[in-house]
Amino acid sequence: MKLMFISDIHGSLYWLDRALEKVAEEQPDCLVILGDFLYHGPRNPLPDGYDPQGVASRLNDYNANHRTIVAVRGNCDAEVDQMLLQFPMMGDYVLILHEGRRIYATHGHGFSMEHLPQLSEKDIFIQGHTHVPVAEVKEGIYVLNPGSISLPKENNPNSYAVLQNGEFTVKDFEGNTIRNITL
Protein backbone atom coordinates (compact mmCIF):
# COMPACT_ATOMS: atom_id res chain seq x y z
CA MET A 1 0.00 0.00 0.00
CA LYS A 2 1.29 3.43 -0.96
CA LEU A 3 0.72 6.40 1.38
CA MET A 4 1.26 10.04 0.48
CA PHE A 5 1.72 12.64 3.21
CA ILE A 6 1.13 16.39 3.00
CA SER A 7 1.14 18.94 5.79
CA ASP A 8 0.64 22.59 6.50
CA ILE A 9 -1.57 23.67 3.60
CA HIS A 10 -2.39 26.88 5.53
CA GLY A 11 -5.20 27.87 3.16
CA SER A 12 -3.11 27.85 -0.04
CA LEU A 13 -5.27 26.67 -2.92
CA TYR A 14 -2.27 27.12 -5.25
CA TRP A 15 -0.10 24.65 -3.31
CA LEU A 16 -2.96 22.26 -2.64
CA ASP A 17 -3.61 22.09 -6.38
CA ARG A 18 0.09 21.38 -6.94
CA ALA A 19 -0.07 18.64 -4.28
CA LEU A 20 -3.16 17.10 -5.88
CA GLU A 21 -1.29 17.04 -9.21
CA LYS A 22 1.38 15.00 -7.41
CA VAL A 23 -1.35 12.75 -5.97
CA ALA A 24 -2.47 12.09 -9.57
CA GLU A 25 1.14 11.22 -10.51
CA GLU A 26 1.99 9.20 -7.39
CA GLN A 27 -1.35 7.33 -7.24
CA PRO A 28 -1.31 6.65 -3.48
CA ASP A 29 -3.86 4.36 -1.88
CA CYS A 30 -4.34 6.93 0.86
CA LEU A 31 -3.63 10.65 1.28
CA VAL A 32 -2.64 11.50 4.86
CA ILE A 33 -2.95 15.18 5.79
CA LEU A 34 -1.04 16.20 8.92
CA GLY A 35 -2.98 19.32 9.88
CA ASP A 36 -3.11 23.07 9.41
CA PHE A 37 -5.66 23.00 6.60
CA LEU A 38 -7.30 26.39 6.18
CA TYR A 39 -5.82 29.16 8.33
CA HIS A 40 -2.36 30.62 7.74
CA GLY A 41 -1.67 31.22 11.43
CA PRO A 42 -0.63 34.47 13.11
CA ARG A 43 3.12 33.77 12.78
CA ASN A 44 3.02 32.95 9.06
CA PRO A 45 2.72 35.18 6.01
CA LEU A 46 -0.21 34.65 3.68
CA PRO A 47 0.78 31.78 1.37
CA ASP A 48 0.46 31.91 -2.42
CA GLY A 49 -3.16 31.54 -3.51
CA TYR A 50 -4.62 32.00 -0.02
CA ASP A 51 -8.21 30.76 -0.36
CA PRO A 52 -9.41 28.75 2.65
CA GLN A 53 -12.88 28.17 1.20
CA GLY A 54 -11.34 27.00 -2.06
CA VAL A 55 -9.08 24.61 -0.13
CA ALA A 56 -12.08 23.18 1.72
CA SER A 57 -14.02 22.76 -1.50
CA ARG A 58 -11.12 21.10 -3.33
CA LEU A 59 -10.44 18.67 -0.46
CA ASN A 60 -14.13 17.82 -0.17
CA ASP A 61 -14.31 17.13 -3.92
CA TYR A 62 -11.19 14.97 -3.75
CA ASN A 63 -12.52 13.01 -0.78
CA ALA A 64 -15.95 12.54 -2.40
CA ASN A 65 -14.32 11.06 -5.50
CA HIS A 66 -11.60 8.97 -3.84
CA ARG A 67 -12.57 8.51 -0.16
CA THR A 68 -8.92 8.12 0.77
CA ILE A 69 -8.18 11.08 3.06
CA VAL A 70 -6.95 10.36 6.58
CA ALA A 71 -6.41 13.56 8.52
CA VAL A 72 -5.45 15.04 11.88
CA ARG A 73 -5.95 18.48 13.37
CA GLY A 74 -3.14 21.03 13.45
CA ASN A 75 -2.58 23.84 15.90
CA CYS A 76 -4.11 26.33 13.43
CA ASP A 77 -7.27 24.22 12.94
CA ALA A 78 -10.52 24.81 14.85
CA GLU A 79 -13.99 23.35 15.15
CA VAL A 80 -15.26 25.82 12.54
CA ASP A 81 -12.82 24.28 10.03
CA GLN A 82 -14.43 20.88 10.57
CA MET A 83 -17.76 22.49 9.66
CA LEU A 84 -16.34 23.19 6.17
CA LEU A 85 -14.57 19.86 5.65
CA GLN A 86 -16.58 16.73 4.85
CA PHE A 87 -14.14 14.22 6.34
CA PRO A 88 -12.96 13.86 9.94
CA MET A 89 -9.94 15.98 10.83
CA MET A 90 -10.32 16.93 14.50
CA GLY A 91 -8.39 14.03 16.03
CA ASP A 92 -5.03 14.86 17.57
CA TYR A 93 -3.54 11.71 16.05
CA VAL A 94 -4.41 8.66 14.00
CA LEU A 95 -2.86 5.19 14.08
CA ILE A 96 -2.29 3.55 10.71
CA LEU A 97 -1.18 -0.06 10.23
CA HIS A 98 1.09 -0.20 7.20
CA GLU A 99 3.16 -3.13 5.95
CA GLY A 100 3.35 -4.66 9.43
CA ARG A 101 4.26 -1.40 11.16
CA ARG A 102 2.32 0.98 13.36
CA ILE A 103 2.34 4.61 12.21
CA TYR A 104 1.47 7.30 14.73
CA ALA A 105 0.49 10.33 12.61
CA THR A 106 -0.05 13.70 14.27
CA HIS A 107 0.49 17.38 13.58
CA GLY A 108 3.33 17.77 16.06
CA HIS A 109 2.13 20.48 18.43
CA GLY A 110 1.35 17.93 21.19
CA PHE A 111 3.48 14.87 20.82
CA SER A 112 6.49 15.64 18.65
CA MET A 113 9.91 14.33 17.69
CA GLU A 114 11.21 15.91 20.89
CA HIS A 115 8.35 14.44 22.97
CA LEU A 116 7.45 11.04 21.52
CA PRO A 117 4.38 9.06 22.58
CA GLN A 118 4.75 5.51 23.89
CA LEU A 119 5.87 3.58 20.80
CA SER A 120 7.77 0.38 20.15
CA GLU A 121 11.05 -0.03 18.35
CA LYS A 122 10.63 0.21 14.55
CA ASP A 123 7.28 1.99 14.87
CA ILE A 124 6.87 5.15 12.80
CA PHE A 125 6.14 8.60 14.20
CA ILE A 126 5.20 11.20 11.59
CA GLN A 127 4.36 14.83 12.15
CA GLY A 128 4.05 18.12 10.29
CA HIS A 129 4.05 21.45 12.19
CA THR A 130 7.72 22.45 11.85
CA HIS A 131 7.58 22.87 8.04
CA VAL A 132 10.96 21.10 7.89
CA PRO A 133 11.43 17.67 6.25
CA VAL A 134 12.88 14.91 8.45
CA ALA A 135 13.67 11.23 7.89
CA GLU A 136 15.74 9.66 10.70
CA VAL A 137 15.74 7.15 13.54
CA LYS A 138 15.45 8.27 17.17
CA GLU A 139 15.54 5.80 20.04
CA GLY A 140 14.76 2.97 17.59
CA ILE A 141 11.68 4.78 16.24
CA TYR A 142 11.46 6.21 12.74
CA VAL A 143 10.70 9.93 13.00
CA LEU A 144 9.45 11.54 9.82
CA ASN A 145 8.14 14.87 8.57
CA PRO A 146 7.08 15.63 4.97
CA GLY A 147 7.78 19.35 5.38
CA SER A 148 5.20 21.90 4.23
CA ILE A 149 3.50 22.13 0.87
CA SER A 150 2.87 25.88 1.24
CA LEU A 151 5.22 27.53 3.74
CA PRO A 152 8.53 25.63 3.98
CA LYS A 153 11.08 26.80 6.53
CA GLU A 154 14.88 26.73 6.96
CA ASN A 155 15.50 27.16 3.22
CA ASN A 156 13.72 23.90 2.36
CA PRO A 157 11.59 23.62 -0.77
CA ASN A 158 7.83 23.06 -0.74
CA SER A 159 7.52 19.30 -0.22
CA TYR A 160 5.45 16.18 0.32
CA ALA A 161 6.33 12.57 1.12
CA VAL A 162 5.56 9.04 -0.04
CA LEU A 163 5.80 5.80 1.93
CA GLN A 164 5.88 2.57 -0.06
CA ASN A 165 7.69 -0.76 0.09
CA GLY A 166 9.66 0.21 3.19
CA GLU A 167 10.93 3.52 1.75
CA PHE A 168 9.97 6.95 3.04
CA THR A 169 10.86 9.66 0.53
CA VAL A 170 10.36 13.40 0.84
CA LYS A 171 10.17 15.09 -2.56
CA ASP A 172 9.98 18.62 -3.85
CA PHE A 173 7.45 19.53 -6.53
CA GLU A 174 10.01 19.07 -9.30
CA GLY A 175 10.35 15.41 -8.28
CA ASN A 176 13.74 15.70 -6.56
CA THR A 177 14.37 13.63 -3.44
CA ILE A 178 14.92 15.86 -0.39
CA ARG A 179 15.12 13.14 2.31
CA ASN A 180 14.94 9.36 2.15
CA ILE A 181 15.11 6.53 4.63
CA THR A 182 14.69 2.80 4.38
CA LEU A 183 12.46 1.49 7.16
For the chain, the distance separating the N- and C-terminal CA atoms, rounded to the nearest angstrom, is 14
Q: How many CB atoms lie within 10 A of CB 123?
A: 17
Planar angle of CA 65, 83, 97, nearest 5 degrees:
55
Per-residue confidence (pLDDT) for residue 42, from 0 to 100: 86
Dist CA 150 CA 49 (whole Å): 10
What's at 55, amino acid-wise? V
Taking only the tens place, the pLDDT of each residue in 82-132 is: 999 999 999 999 999 999 899 999 999 999 999 999 999 999 999 999 999
Which candidate, 120, 121, 99, places its Cα nearest to that of 166? 99
* Count of structural domains, the chain: 1
Q: How confident is the model at residue 148 (pLDDT cuts 50, 70, 90)?
A: very high
CATH number of 92's domain:
3.60.21.10
Dist CA 4 CA 10 (whole Å): 18
Domain that holds residue 55: 3-182
**72-82 average pLDDT score:** 97
Dist CA 146 CA 169 (whole Å): 8
Taking only the tens place, the pLDDT of each residue in 52-72 is: 999 999 999 999 998 899 999
Per-residue confidence (pLDDT) for residue 172, from 0 to 100: 98
Q: How confident is the model at residue 41 (pLDDT cuts 50, 70, 90)?
A: confident
Dist CA 48 CA 103 (whole Å): 31
**15-30 average pLDDT score:** 97
